[in-house]
Amino acid sequence: MAIRRGRGVAAINYPTGMNLGGDPTQALVHSTPTGNFMVTLSSVDLGQGMKQIMAQICAETIGVPTDRVVVDTADTDTGPHCMGTFASRGTHRAGNAVIQAAREARQVMLEVAAEELEVNASDLDTDGQGNILVKGAPQRSISIFDVALSAHFKRGRSISGRGMFLIPRSYPDKETGAMKPSTCYAHACTVAEVEVDDETGEVTVLTVKNVFEIGRALNPKMVEQQLVGGSWMGISHALYETTEPYYPDRDHGGTDFNQYLMPGPGDLAQTEIIVLERPSADGPFGAKGPGEMCANPQIPAVANAVFDAVGVRIDTLPITPERILRALKAQASN
Amino acid sequence: MAKIPVQFTLNGAEKAEFFDSGTTLLNALRDKIGDTSPKGGCHQGTCGACSVIIDGELRLSCLTLAETCNGAAITTTSGLSQGGVLHPLQRAFLDAFATQCGFCTPGMIMAAKVLLDHTPDPSRDDVVEALSGNICRCTGYEPIIQAVLTAARSNSQNAA
């Protein structure tokens, strides 16, 4: 009986979004009378930071500072339609819709500014600081604040835009079975080192080294945050979490945080994150979906590391001490 | 049923309210007083999101009856900033990206504050132990641990 060490590797690719009945998201953008911009979505920020990313995308597209953008995700009854926040799709789908809506709003904004400055709208550009300038003659300028006031009270224009991004449903080819279930894939690779106690079946994860390829990181600190937390959650899925840890039937399943196991701050593995940025062709500013996918490669990596350590293949999650001991017993009797 | 009069201080301000017997401090603070910084995660004392400080000690407000708090001094996360300036722990949590969805954050900050009040220069193990009653789903804990260690260092620099 001994503590045995093992190392496992796993690589994944992960589709951004889904292929059910078509995968659409809509966005609306409009300016307030003082030149702030509202993004209206039904896409939900459930803590991953969607509001921040959508504000960045809208601001970059219109050409204003991010703090001039307010994102409203208030109500799925009244807002523009979104399929939802899941399948790592939020940034990609909603982001593309926001770009389209913001472009249309920017065009109206430039048209109003053109009337005020008595120039052609195509001769205008934004400075990113809240002003619109004549290209090549930046001394001729107007603030977006004044453009919005003019649009509202003088010109009778609505500085607004509509965005709709749809990935149509892909059906398999009847002859070959070929299809295109996703247009955009993120990738990841994890190496996990574990110790397995072959007497108790307990697994300790020592290190987790992850490489994530996520398209362009629109907010690098938030990406890092998501990946560190996701890596932890992957270990949690591999070793601890299940709604049905007990048998013989569901009635013995966990009902609360006493019984639904998650590793706490004392159970952390040494974690390393490397981000590779390979901008996607159809993502907003090259982004893919780093959300859900970042909690996946740790699971097979840990399973492989357990196999490397004690020579048993556990193919049911989570990899509990009991499952390891049963497998070791079966292995010994063969 | 007769309501029970309870007086305590919340973040230094006098509060006097009538509560139904059996009202938890969590519900009293959120629904009656309007301080929603303590969060109701599990309502059974296992997640730590409802943590508050009562007379200097970390307590779970979901398991504390409001009527037992007569005369107590209660601190919540919403009372930490002074004159619009964030508490060093709040600053450190922001700077370290130690919060994602934010639901566990007030409880984490309460647990960290009690730690630093008693142990101004904690080891990493001290921090892990202090946070071990608080569940976070998003961050993987490491940024939170780093934030508490950073706040401890900035406190000791300010004191020096």
A143 and A237, same domain (yes or no): no
Chain A: residue whose CA lies nearest to B129: A266
Looking at CA atoms only, how far is residue A46 from chain B in angstroms?
6
A40, β-bridge pairs: A28, A72
Q: Do the Cβ atoms of A225 and B128 come within 8 Å? A: no
Task: Report the CATH number that the domain containing residue A91 is assigned in CATH.
Answer: 3.30.365.10
Sheet with A270-276, strands from edge to edge, namely: A3-15, A185-197, A203-213, A270-276
Q: Do the Cβ atoms of A47 and B135 come within 8 Å? A: no
- The whole-number average pLDDT for the span B53-57 is 98
Chain B, 63 to 122: residues with Cβ < 8 Å from chain A are 97, 100-103
How far apart, in whole angstroms, are the C-alpha atoms of residue B37 and residue B24?
15
Chain A: residue whose CA lies nearest to B136: A264
A7 and A58, same domain (yes or no): no
Looking at A105, A132, A167, the residue that finishes a domain is A167
**Is the CB of residue B140 less than 8 Å from the CB of residue B118?**
no
Sheet with A137-143, strands from edge to edge, namely: A124-126, A131-134, A137-143
A214 and A282, same domain (yes or no): yes
In a domain, A175, yes or no: no
Chain B: residue whose CA lies nearest to A52: B100
- Look at residues A283, A226, A277, A290 and name the one whose alpha carbon lies nearest to residue A94: A283
Q: Give residue B92's pLDDT.
A: 97
Looking at CA atoms only, how far is residue A305 from chain B in angstroms?
21
**Is the CB of residue A196 less than 8 Å from the CB of residue A323?**
no
A159 and A213, same domain (yes or no): no
A187 and A327, same domain (yes or no): yes
- With contacts defined as CB-CB under 8 Å, which chain A residues touch B129? 266
- With contacts defined as CB-CB under 8 Å, which chain B residues touch A231? 140
- A195 half-sphere exposure, CB direction, 13 A CA radius: 9
In a domain, A202, yes or no: yes
In a domain, A265, yes or no: yes
- The whole-number average pLDDT for the span A109-124 is 97
Q: Give residue A249's pLDDT.
A: 78
Q: What is the ipTM of this complex?
A: 0.87
Could you give phi then psi for residue B131, rounded to 5 degrees?
-95, 0
The band of A257, judged by pLDDT with boundaries at 50, 70 and 90, is confident
Chain A, 266 to 295: residues with Cβ < 8 Å from chain B are 266, 268, 271
Please determine, for residue A101, whether its predicted confidence score (pLDDT) is greater than 70.
yes
Q: Which amino acid is at A187?
A: H
Q: Give residue B155's pLDDT.
A: 79
Look at the alpha carbons of A249, A255, A258, A261 in this order and tell me if their dihedral is positive or negative: positive
The band of B159, judged by pLDDT with boundaries at 50, 70 and 90, is low
Q: Give residue A313's pLDDT.
A: 97
- The whole-number average pLDDT for the span A25-35 is 97
Please determine, for residue A269, whether its predicted confidence score (pLDDT) is greater than 70.
yes
> Over chain A, what HEC string results?
CCEEEEEEEEEEEEECCCCCCCEEEEEEEEECCCCCEEEECCCCCCCCCHHHHHHHHHHHHHCCCHHHEEEECCCCCCCCCECCCCCCCHHHHHHHHHHHHHHHHHHHHHHHHHHHHCCCHHHEEECCCCEEEECCEEEEEEEHHHHHHHHHHHHCCCCEEEEEEEECCCCCCCCCCCCCCCCCEEEEEEEEEEEEECCCCCEEEEEEEEEEECECCCCHHHHHHHHHHHHHHHHHHHHCCCCCCCCCCHHHCCCCCCCCCCCCHHHCCEEEEEEECCCCCCCHHHECCCCHHHHCCHHHHHHHHHHHHHCCCCCCCCCCHHHHHHHHHHHHHC
| CA angle at A208 for the pair A9 and B92, rounded to the nearest 5° | 155
Q: Do the Cβ atoms of A47 and B142 come within 8 Å? A: no
How far apart, in whole angstroms, are the C-alpha atoms of residue B59 and residue B107?
10
- The whole-number average pLDDT for the span A13-35 is 93
Looking at CA atoms only, how far is residue A45 from chain B in angstroms?
9
A327 and A191, same domain (yes or no): yes
A123 and A244, same domain (yes or no): no
- The whole-number average pLDDT for the span A251-276 is 87
In a domain, A203, yes or no: yes
A158 and A259, same domain (yes or no): no
A101 and A131, same domain (yes or no): yes
In a domain, A176, yes or no: no
Mean pLDDT of chain B: 95
Stretch (H or E) spanning B14: strand B13-19
**How far does Cα B144 stand from its chain's mean position?**
14
> Over B65-80, what HEC string results?
EHHHHCCCEEECHHHC
Looking at CA atoms only, how far is residue A277 from chain B in angstroms?
21
Instruction: State the residue range of the domain holding A117.
Output: 23-167
Specify the higher pLDDT residue, A135 or B160: A135
A269 and A129, same domain (yes or no): no
- The whole-number average pLDDT for the span A107-136 is 97
A56 and A129, same domain (yes or no): yes
- Domains held by chain A: number: 2
The band of A81, judged by pLDDT with boundaries at 50, 70 and 90, is very high
In a domain, A177, yes or no: no
Place of tokens 């639901």: B103
How far apart, in whole angstroms, are the C-alpha atoms of residue A71 and residue A277?
26
A119 and A224, same domain (yes or no): no
Active-site residue, from A60, A111, A193, A292: A292
CATH number of the domain located at residue range(s) B4-79 in this protein: 3.10.20.30
- The whole-number average pLDDT for the span A173-181 is 94
Q: Do the Cβ atoms of A257 and B42 come within 8 Å? A: yes
The band of A246, judged by pLDDT with boundaries at 50, 70 and 90, is low
Mean pLDDT of chain A: 94
Identify the CATH assignment for B88-159 out of 2.30.29.30, 3.30.1330.40, 3.40.50.300, 1.10.150.120: 1.10.150.120
Q: Do the Cβ atoms of A47 and B103 come within 8 Å? A: yes
A26, β-bridge pairs: A164
Looking at A117, A134, A167, the residue that finishes a domain is A167
- The whole-number average pLDDT for the span A306-311 is 98
- The whole-number average pLDDT for the span B39-65 is 97
Q: Do the Cβ atoms of B141 and A226 come within 8 Å? A: no
**Catalytic: A272?**
no
Flag whether residue B123 sits within 8 Å of chain A, measured between CB atoms: no
Q: Do the Cβ atoms of A48 and B142 come within 8 Å? A: no
The band of B40, judged by pLDDT with boundaries at 50, 70 and 90, is very high
Chain A, 68 to 127: residues with Cβ < 8 Å from chain B are none
In a domain, A172, yes or no: no
CB pairs under 8 A between A and B: 66
Looking at CA atoms only, how far is residue A130 from chain B in angstroms?
27
The domain locations on chain B are 4-79, 88-159
Q: Give residue A20's pLDDT.
A: 80
Lowest mean pLDDT among A86-90, A147-151, B70-74, B119-123: A86-90
Please determine, for residue B23, whether its predicted confidence score (pLDDT) is greater than 60.
yes
